[in-house]
């Protein structure tokens, strides 16, 4: 699976809707150019999206970042994916860069 929202996808993992092992990567709307930028994101997401298990949400996000399974188009000046039709997709249906389809 390919996630399209860091906050919502990790919430789904926390709630058991998606197995973390099935997540190929998450393309998020975040713009964390340095590792310490994630601290602010985590602080906000812990309360707003991961309130049932904020510590585990943080562990999952930090692991995905470490494993380079978080893609941030905004860091490269591109737009993040739209999630109006859902925040999960499968390979072959997502454009993450001009001319590049996953």
Q: At residue 102, does pLDDT exceed 80?
A: no
Q: Do 49 and 84 touch, CB atoms closer than 8 A? A: no
The torsion angles phi and psi of 63, rounded to 5 degrees, stand at -65, -45
Backbone phi, psi, residue 57, to 5°: -60, -45
Angle between helices 54-66 and 37-48 (to 10 degrees): 140
Condensed to tens digits (0 to 9), the pLDDT of residues 74-96 reads: 999 999 999 988 999 987 655 55
Q: What's the whole-number mean pLDDT along residues 19-34?
A: 97
pLDDT digits (tens, 9 = 90+) for 36-54: 999 999 999 999 999 999 9
Residue 30 pLDDT:
97
Q: Give the start-to-end residue ranges of the domains of the chain.
A: 2-101
Cβ burial 36-71 (10 Å sphere, 16+ → b, else e): eebeebbeebbeebbeeebeebbebbeebbeeeebb
What pTM does this model have?
A: 0.86
């Amino acid at each position: 699976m390919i996630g399209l929202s860091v906050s919502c996808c990790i919430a789904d993992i926390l709630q058991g809707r998606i197995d973390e092992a099935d997540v190929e990567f998450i393309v998020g709307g975040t713009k964390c150019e340095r590792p310490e930028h994630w601290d602010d994101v985590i602080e906000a997401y812990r309360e707003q999206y991961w309130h049932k298990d904020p510590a585990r949400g943080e562990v999952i996000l930090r692991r995905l970042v470490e494993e380079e399974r978080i893609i941030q188009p905004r860091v490269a000046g591109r737009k993040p994916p739209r999630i109006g039709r859902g925040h999960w997709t499968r390979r072959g249906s997502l454009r993450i860069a001009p001319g590049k389809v996953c």
